[in-house]
A = this chain, B = another copy of it.
Amino acid sequence: MEAHLDSTAAGSKRLIEAMRYSFFSGGKRIRPQLVYGAAKTVRDSQAKKQPTTEIMPETYVAAAVEAIHTYSLIHDDLPAMDDDDLRRGKPTCHKAFDEATAILAGDALLNLGFQILIDGIIEFGKPMVRAAQAVGVSTGIGGMVTGQMLDLLGEETEPTLEKVQLIHKNKTGALLHACVLAGGMVAEPNDEQEKALSVFGKSVGLAFQIVDDLLDLEQSTETLGKRAGKDEEQNKMTYPAVMGIDKSYELAGELTQKAEEALKVFGDSGKVLQAIAKLILRRDH
């Protein structure tokens, strides 16, 4: 990412500054962890050597998904969308810069994510093509963008479990699922392994969002690094809103268990992803 952002710094310093500001702002990097974890898991279980080069195919996928995730945060925070002033404990991009710069920095990060995927295809060929496709589907009208649209429209209607599921599946679930799948794909899993990664990715993706909903309710703005309690205020569709806090915890636990079970096909090699799943469930921000 450093290299990508430096190489074109001549164009517009302000644009690059805004991209760096949001990208290097101390995110938890959950998505890259899932990508790396999935690739390692597949290789370990097939007794393949881990690549010894500095840049592995999963490096491209990890950088791409984090760039695309960062774009989505910048755009979601805009005044016309969720109108947030605080993100990762710092002013949001449009507050630190301005709205136009934030829109363009988001656009540029989305574009950069795909450029990195295409560069990865040039470097590593076929396994990267499938991974790139999985990411692309999850971030467009088949996933993330549609999720954000449904989320905004949902603010004006009565929450139901069905609507919450549809929003969460698209808004955050699709990309998290794609991280696991695409990360695994670059290591060329067999069909059984790919299916297991898909189940794991879907379950973890949903568990992640339920925990996110619960944290928004129960944690302070300081711990979260973003404004707490805003879901309720903005009448957002959340799991606690439709099934209560206790049931939400229960469901998150069940999903984590389902995710762990899916990893059984990998035997001992599944431990890395299991650890990441625990981390996602037990985080405090």
Contact = CB atoms under 8 A, between A and B. Distances in A.
Given A78-B103, A114-B114, A129 B122 contact: yes
A136 B118 contact: yes
A112 B140 contact: yes
Contact of A145 (B15, B75, B119): B15
A117 B132 CA distance: 10
Given A15-B149, A149-B15, A149-B104, A137 B110 contact: no
**How many copies of this chain are found per oligomer?**
2
A101 interface: yes
B117 A118 contact: yes
A59 interface: no
A71 B101 CA distance: 16
A5 B145 CA distance: 13
A129 B121 contact: yes
25 contacts: A11-B149, A12-B149, A14-B153, A16-B141, A19-B141, A75-B107, A80-B100, A80-B103, A81-B100, A104-B145, A107-B107, A107-B145, A108-B140, A108-B141, A110-B110, A111-B145, A112-B141, A114-B117, A114-B136, A115-B133, A115-B136, A115-B137, A118-B129, A121-B129, A122-B133
Interface in A115-142: 115, 117-119, 121-122, 129, 132-133, 136-137, 139-142
Contacts of A139: 111
A108 B137 CA distance: 11
A148 B18 CA distance: 14
Contacts of A152: 100
Contact of A118 (B119, B122, B133): B133
A8 B146 contact: yes
Query: Which of A108, A117, A140, A146 gathers the greatest number of chain B CB atoms within 10 Å?
Result: A140
A71 B264 CA distance: 44
A193 interface: no
B132 A118 contact: yes
Interface of A: 5, 8, 11-12, 14-16, 19, 71, 75, 78, 80-81, 98-101, 103-104, 106-108, 110-112, 114-115, 117-119, 121-122, 129, 132-133, 136-137, 139-142, 145-146, 148-150, 152-153, 170
Given A14-B149, A141-B16, A81 B103 contact: yes
Contacts of A71: 107
Contacts of A112: 140-141
B11 A104 contact: no
Contact of A141 (B15, B121, B129, B148): B15
